[in-house]
Structure 1
Amino acid sequence: MNKLKFSPFYLLSLLPINVLYIFSDILYVFIFKVFQYRRDIVMDNLIKSFPEKKYREIREIEKRFYHHFCDIMFESIKTLTMNKREIEKRFKIKNPELIQELYHQNKNIVLYSAHLGNWEWCTFLPLFLDHQVTAFYQPLSNKYFDELMKLIRSRLGVLCIPSQNGYKTLLKLKAEKKLTFNLIIGDQSPSHKSSRYWTHFLHRETAFLMGADVISNKNNCAVIYPQCIKVKRGVYETQFILLDESPRESQKHSVIEKYSKALEENINQQPYLWLWSHNRWKLSA
């Protein structure tokens, strides 16, 4: 039924990835040059985040970001039909032994991730880990695309949990004695009603959501940051960085501080990999 309902995307995903990149190059022309999608936000974010860079350097990051942004769209569609052999060629983990060691210590894990690299390919993690992989998500208003994204993310075993049910579901899994590896993206801008924590990030005071910090403290989960680099088009390499093994014993909000520093360092490695089109600084301190 799903294959019929989402047949245009299934058919597209069957094409070789190099063909999909041709479509990505065409889409880049429309998004960047014709429609100029959020270029004002992207340029403002880049200029303020890299005051030391010359304008031509900022422009180069901007162009590379839009190319990468278009690639992610087609790489995500390709997820629908990629087999394990192709996944292992394109999604590489440098130190899986860190996660194995925590598993043998009977530790639940929070992967405190970001919109960097191809975050959608974190759905491949069940192929590499013994933990039950879960992911919090905000349901999309468009029901068709909401179902499509859930299908893409859950195809290989990720348990997708609506954010409002997140903590309750984790407690249920804990009661069932299932070790969990919880994917939480922490670089969104908090809403005006959300609890937030302020810290210095990319030359500005920046508000961070507190969900990952609260959950890791309550459950005393080990907290990992996935440091990602893009080796070449369609090939990503991740190094797991242990931010805190026992957050309950650490200073309050130290997890967010460590996360923000790890994310900033990762962004500085390859700036075009971050989602600059997001209005990250719409809140002011």
Structure 2
Amino acid sequence: MAQSNQLTRWQRLRLRLMRSTLRGLARLPRSFVDKVLVPSLDWLLYHLFKYRRQVVEENIRLTLTDLSPAEQKTVGKRFYRHLAELMLHEARYAYGSDERVRQLFRLEQTELLDQLYEAGHRQVFALLGHIGPWELMGSSSLHLDRSRYQLHVIYKQLHDPVADQLTHEMRELHHARCIEMSQLARDILRHRDQEHDTRMHIYCLLADQSPSYEQMRYASVLFGRTTSFVTGWSHLATKLQIPLLFCDIRHDDQAKQWVGTFRLLCEHPTSQLQYQLIDDYVAQLEENIRLAPHRWLWSHKRWRFDPHDFPQMVYSPRCNHSSI
């Protein structure tokens, strides 16, 4: 992570300008953002810039095969509206007061954390996907007893040091702590060595991103497509006996707020279960996406590599010859 005192003068100026812009955006009335700014940005992304239109449409066409072409097009158009909402409301999530964020997002099934804590666990992985405003998981500390639970957001360092610094700051505004992905194992071990620390450390991971070329190891099935997944978290969980939770994200239209719900994937992961854990995560992920398909990040180049091009690939039993 780039620290502000390591930035150049121009980069520090950019950082201040970006902070001021986002804070100003956070103060705008929600009605103005929703009725004026969101439709405008939606039109720009979809019609003018055609932001990753080909990627989005291809992903949806080859994935949501149970939908008609017209229904697939509707999902794509609704995705761009959702993306515009995410981009413009991000500042409201980050720079809003604790009380406002509690109104925007609530956390359910937190008793699972209590049960794991009482069972003696002091570390847990909370897995989620790029669904809805996933950044709101960083505000989960607002719904937890912070004397008992410490939330960590796992992230990948951005190439732009200004954007990296700003994103890091925004994720920590509501009592979460950031851990860069490459430092995760080290920090888990460091937390274990702190005998005086009786808190449970919760590591929030977005586990649905496409692995890098060097990380292609395991393929499961997502929406009928043979799909590679990162395996680092399952390796750590099985080696260090860290329980796994899935966080289901949905929108409560009546309450007009997002809801995160914990579901237990495995309390005692073992090496024999390493790949089964990934399959269980994928099944939960697909179920969560199907609740509102347009709220998943379709613009991500999720299938940029063909798993069959990698001889070392291990395939899930869920894979079959009918998978794409």
> Residue 251 of structure 1: CA displacement?
2.1
Q: Find the residue that maps to 1:253 and give its secondary structure.
A: helix
Report the residue type matching 2:92 in the other structure.
Answer: K
TM-score of the two chains, using structure 1 as the length reference? 0.94
Distance 1:20 1:173 in 2: 41
Percent identical among aligned pairs is: 25
Check conservation: 1:95, 1:239, Cα contact below 8 A. Answer: yes
1:238 correspondence with 2:260: yes
Report runs of 4+ in structure 1 exceeding 3 Å deviation: 1-5
What corresponds to 1:19 in structure 2?
Answer: 32
Check conservation: 1:198, 1:206, Cα contact below 8 A. Answer: yes
> Residue 14 of structure 1: CA displacement?
1.7
Q: Residue 270 of structure 2: which of 245, 248, 261 is its match?
A: 248
Distance 2:86 2:158 in 1: 18
What corresponds to 1:193 in structure 2?
Answer: 214
What corresponds to 2:71 in structure 1?
Answer: 57
Check conservation: 2:106, 2:143, Cα contact below 8 A. Answer: no
Q: Find the residue that maps to 2:249 and give its secondary structure.
A: strand
Report the residue type matching 2:156 in the other structure.
Answer: Q
Distance 1:262 1:122 in 2: 17
TM-score of the two chains, using structure 2 as the length reference? 0.83
What corresponds to 1:266 in structure 2?
Answer: 288
> Residue 35 of structure 1: CA displacement?
0.9
Check conservation: 1:226, 1:238, Cα contact below 8 A. Answer: yes
Check conservation: 2:94, 2:174, Cα contact below 8 A. Answer: no
What corresponds to 2:237 in structure 1?
Answer: 216
Distance 1:249 1:283 in 2: 27
Report the residue type matching 2:192 in the other structure.
Answer: K
What corresponds to 1:30 in structure 2?
Answer: 44
What corresponds to 1:9 in structure 2?
Answer: 22
Check conservation: 2:220, 2:227, Cα contact below 8 A. Answer: yes
> Residue 7 of structure 1: CA displacement?
1.3
Report the residue type matching 1:71 in the other structure.
Answer: E
> What 5-or-longer segments of structure 2 have no aligned partner?
5-11, 309-324
Distance 1:10 1:34 in 2: 27
Distance 2:270 2:176 in 1: 26
What corresponds to 2:105 in structure 1?
Answer: 91
> What 5-or-longer segments of structure 1 have no aligned partner?
none
> Residue 250 of structure 1: CA displacement?
5.3
What corresponds to 2:135 in structure 1?
Answer: 120
Report the residue type matching 1:150 in the other structure.
Answer: H
Measured against aligned partners, the alpha-carbon deviations of 1:20-52 in whole angstroms (never above 9, x if no partner) come to 223122100000111111111111111111112
Report the residue type matching 1:243 in the other structure.
Answer: L
> Residue 249 of structure 1: CA displacement?
6.8
Check conservation: 1:112, 1:212, Cα contact below 8 A. Answer: no
Report the residue type matching 2:263 in the other structure.
Answer: I
Q: Find the residue that maps to 2:112 and give its secondary structure.
A: helix
Range with bigger deviation, 27-36 or 229-238: 229-238
Check conservation: 2:107, 2:140, Cα contact below 8 A. Answer: no
What corresponds to 2:201 in structure 1?
Answer: 180
Report the residue type matching 1:80 in the other structure.
Answer: A
Report the residue type matching 2:87 in the other structure.
Answer: M
1:225 correspondence with 2:240: no
Check conservation: 1:91, 1:121, Cα contact below 8 A. Answer: yes
Distance 1:87 1:192 in 2: 37
RMSD (Å) for aligned C-alpha atoms: 1.9
Distance 2:142 2:274 in 1: 34
Distance 2:78 2:226 in 1: 26
Check 1:46–1:248 CA distance in 2 against 1; reply closer, same or farther (3 A cut). Answer: same
Instruction: Give the number of aligned pairs.
Output: 285
Distance 1:205 1:89 in 2: 39
Measured against aligned partners, the alpha-carbon deviations of 1:74-119 in whole angstroms (never above 9, x if no partner) come to 2211123212222222212232211222222232110111111110
Q: Find the residue that maps to 1:188 and give its secondary structure.
A: coil
Distance 1:27 1:224 in 2: 35
Check conservation: 1:17, 1:78, Cα contact below 8 A. Answer: no
Distance 2:127 2:207 in 1: 6
Report the residue type matching 1:245 in the other structure.
Answer: E
Check conservation: 2:235, 2:274, Cα contact below 8 A. Answer: no
What corresponds to 2:311 in structure 1?
Answer: none
Measured against aligned partners, the alpha-carbon deviations of 1:192-238 in whole angstroms (never above 9, x if no partner) come to 11142111111111000002111211221111111111223962112
Q: Find the residue that maps to 2:270 and give its secondary structure.
A: helix
